[in-house]
A and B are shown apart, each in its own frame.
Chain A
Amino acid sequence: MSVKNEMPQGTPEKTPQKWTRADELHAQRVRLGEIQPEKEPLNKKRFAVKALIILLVVAALIVAANWRIAFVEDLMLRSANGETVEMPPDGQYAPIYRLVRLVLIVGGAAFLFYAIIKLLAPKRRKPNRSFWGDLGIYIMLAIIAVAMVFPLVFSIASSLKPLDELFRFPPTVFARRPTTDNFSDLFVTLSQSYVPFSRYLINTVWITFIGTLGHVIIASMAAFVLAKYDFPGAKTFFSVIVTALMFSGYVTGIPNYVIMSRMRIIDTNLAIILPAFAAPIGLFLMKQFMESLPTALIEAAHLDGAGEFRIFWSIIMPNVKPAWLTIIIFSVQNLWNTNAATVIYSEAKKTMVYALQQIQAGGVARTGQAAAVQVITMSVPIIIFVLSQSRILETMASSGLKD
C-alpha cells in the first residue's frame, strides 16, 4: 500500500506524450513484480466467458459421444436385420486428431521458446540473480513440470485409445487412431446400471451442495468469533483445531462408524454430510483470513447499534468472499471425491465416485472405460482450481500458523 503511494500517480494522463523517468521506474518495478499493479475486481464477464467455453467444450464432447452411440446402434440394428453394413473403421477421424496433435505440439514448442526468451530478457532479472542460475532453474522447472504432468497426459491419452492400442507392444503415449469410443461406451454402461446413473450423480451433487453450504456457514460463524473476539477458551479451542488438522478421516474412521451407528445415521446421507460440516481446514483458513480484516469495522458497526448477528451477516461475510470461495473449493473437492464405502450400504444412496470405481473395477474388458472414468473424475477439481486460482492464493496468503 505505502509503496504504491510513493509513486507519482496519474502522470501519464497529464502529459500523455512525455514518459518520465518516474513512470519508467514505476513500470519497471511493476514488471519486476516488486509492486503489484492495482488489483482488478473479479471480472465477472471474463469468468463467465471462461466458464461458458468450458461448458461448451464439455457439451460438444457429450453431443459427439451421443451422436456416435446413435450411429453405431443404428448400424448394429441394421446388421441385426440382415442388412450387410460396413462398420466404420476407427481411424475415420484420424486426420482431425492428427491435426489437433500437430497444432498442440507446434504450439507447445512455440510457447516454450517464447517463454524462455521472455524469461531471460535481461531487464526482467532482479539485480542479485545470475543469468546461469536463472537458466538452470528454468530448465530444471521445465523438466520437473513435464514429469509432473506426464501421468495426467498419459491418462487422458489412454482414454482416447481404442482397445487394441491399450494393449499394444511397445506401448505408445498418444493414440495412433484416436476415438471417443471409450466415452460413448461408458455412457452405454452407465445407462444399463441397476440403479440409474443419474441417481448416483444426484446423490453426489446433493451431498456436495448441502455439505459445502452448511460447512461455509457454520465454519464462518465460529471463525468470526474466534478471530475477532477475545473470550475465555477461544485460544484453547483454536489450538485444538490446529492439532485436528492432522487427523485425516482414517484415524477417526472406526470410532466414527461406532458413533454414527449409535446415532442411527449409518446408511444415510447425513453420515457424509455431518462430518463434512466439521472439517477443521475450513475453519482454520477462514479464521486466519478474518484476522486480517480491520477491527475498526466491527467497532463502528457496534457504535451504530448493530448486533453481533447483523455484523456477521452484513459486514463480515461480504468482506471475506475470497475465503468463501477457497473453503467452498476445498469442501467440494473433498465431497466430490468421497466414495463413502464404509458408511453407505444401499445401492440407491451410493455416490458417483463409488459407481465409477465399480465400473473401473470391471477388469480387462473395461480398461478403456476405466481410463475415461479417470479423465472425468480428475477434470472436475482441476477445472475448478484453474478458474478460481487467484482467489484461492489470496486466501492462502493468510494461512500461516503464527505461534
Chain B
Amino acid sequence: MLKSVSGDYWSMRREKIRYGWNKAKRMKVCYLFLLPYALLFFTFIILPICTSIFYSFTYYNILEPARFIGFQNYVNLFLQDEVFLTAIKNTLVIAVITGPIGYIMSFMFAWFINELPKWLRAIAVVVFYAPSIAGSAYTVFSILFRGDVYGYLNSILLQFGFIDAPILWLSDPRYIMPVLIIVILWMSMGTGFLSCIAGLQGVDKALFEAGYVDGIRNRWQELYHITLPSMKPMLLFSAVMAITSAFNVSDVPRALAGYPSTDYAARTIVTHLFDYGFSRFEMGYASAIATVLFLVMVLCNKAIQSMLRKVGT
C-alpha cells in the first residue's frame, strides 16, 4: 500500500518534471530573450553574493590565495570587534528611526500632495523628490551644521542667545547621530515616494464615490477603508526601497561626520565594510560584514512584507 502511494508520488513528480521540461523546450526562445540579462545579473549580483559568503569563511587579502579559517571571521566580528558592535548599534538606530519615519512620510506627503490641483502637484513633487536625486547635495549640511561660528545653525543660536559657544555638531559624539538622522530623513523621499504618488493617482475614483454614498465622513476614514487597501502593492514596493536606503547608509556619514568619525559615533555597517575592504584589504573579514548585512536586510524585508499584507484587510 505504502509502496504504491509513494510510487504514485514519484511517478507524478517525474510526470511534472517531464511536462515542465517539454514546456521549456517549446518556449526556448523565451530563454534566449532572458539570457543576456540573466548572464549579467548572475555575474554581478548573484555570483558576488555567493562569493561573499564563500570568502567570509576565509582569510583573504587579494595578494595571497584565500586560506580557509572557518567561522573565525564571524567570531572576531561579534566577540572582539567593538567597533563593529558600535556600527551595528548605529545602523540599527538609523534604520529603526529613518526607515519607518521616512516610509510613513513618503506615503503621507504623497497623499497630501495628491489632493492638490494638478499644476501645484507637479511643483510639489519636484520639491519633495529633488533632495534624493540631487547627487551629493547633502554636503551642504556640512556648512549649515559647521562647528564654528560661521556655521549657519550655530550663528542663529548664538545670535538669539540660546548658546554662548558654538556647538561642534559634526564632531561631538552626542550630536552626530541626530544630525545624521535629520539629513537622512531629508533625503528619504525617493523612488518609494514616486511610486506612492503614481499609485494614488491610479486609485479607482468610483471607490471614493461609493465611499461618499456609504457615509465615509472624513479623510481619515477614507484613508483607512479605501486608499490604503488599494495602495498595497505600492506600499510593499516602497517598503523594499525604504529598507534598502535605511540599511545602506554610508555616504552621508562619511561626507558629514568624517571617515573615521569621532569616537566612531557615525560608523555604520557599510562604512565598517568599506574600512576593511578598501582601506585594509582584509577581504575575508569585509565579506563577513557584507554577509551579515545581507542577512539582516533579507530578514527585515520578510518581516515587513508579512506585516504589510495584513494592512486594511
Contacts and interface: CB of A to CB of B under 8 A. Distances in A.
B92 interface: no
Interface of A is mostly: helix
B118 A33 contact: yes
B48 A256 contact: yes
B162 interface: no
Contacts of A400: 195, 199, 231-234, 236-237
Interface string A239-266: 0111111111011111111110100000
Given A255-B287, A278-B41, A221 B198 contact: no
A46 interface: no
A130 interface: yes
B62 A258 contact: yes
Top 5 nearest A-B pairs (CB, nearest first) are A400-B233, A396-B198, A222-B37, A255-B48, A378-B134
B261 to A, nearest CB: 17
A219 B158 CA distance: 55
Contact of A254 (B27, B222, B240, B283): B283
B143 A158 contact: yes
A353 B37 CA distance: 28
A319 interface: no
Most chain B beta-carbon contacts within 10 A, residue among A128, A133, A134: A128
Interface residues on B, range: 35 or more
Interface string B263-274: 000000010011
Contacts of A229: 27, 30
B244 to A, nearest CB: 5
Contact of B37 (A35, A283, A336): A283
Interface stretch (A56-64, A140-148, A194-202, A296-304): A140-148
B293 interface: yes
Nearest to B29: A308
A3 B208 CA distance: 13
A124 interface: yes
A97 interface: no
A248 to B, nearest CB: 4
Most chain A beta-carbon contacts within 10 A, residue among B45, B112, B232, B240: B45
Contacts of B298: 243, 246
19 contacts: A34-B208, A115-B120, A126-B208, A129-B115, A133-B219, A151-B131, A151-B140, A154-B143, A169-B149, A231-B24, A243-B298, A247-B297, A255-B55, A255-B290, A259-B51, A280-B45, A336-B135, A381-B134, A382-B130
A155 interface: yes
B80 to A, nearest CB: 21
Nearest to A154: B140
A3 B219 CA distance: 23
Nearest to B153: A171
Interface string A370-389: 00001001100110011001
Interface in B105-133: 109, 112-113, 115-118, 120, 122, 124-131, 133
Interface residues on A, range: 35 or more
Contacts of A130: 218
A242 B113 contact: no
A160 interface: no
Nearest to A373: B136
Nearest to B230: A400
A127 interface: yes
A330 to B, nearest CB: 8
Given A152-B134, A158-B140, A374-B140, 8 more contacts: A127-B212, A222-B33, A229-B27, A258-B55, A259-B48, A259-B51, A395-B198, A400-B236
B110 to A, nearest CB: 11
B227 interface: no
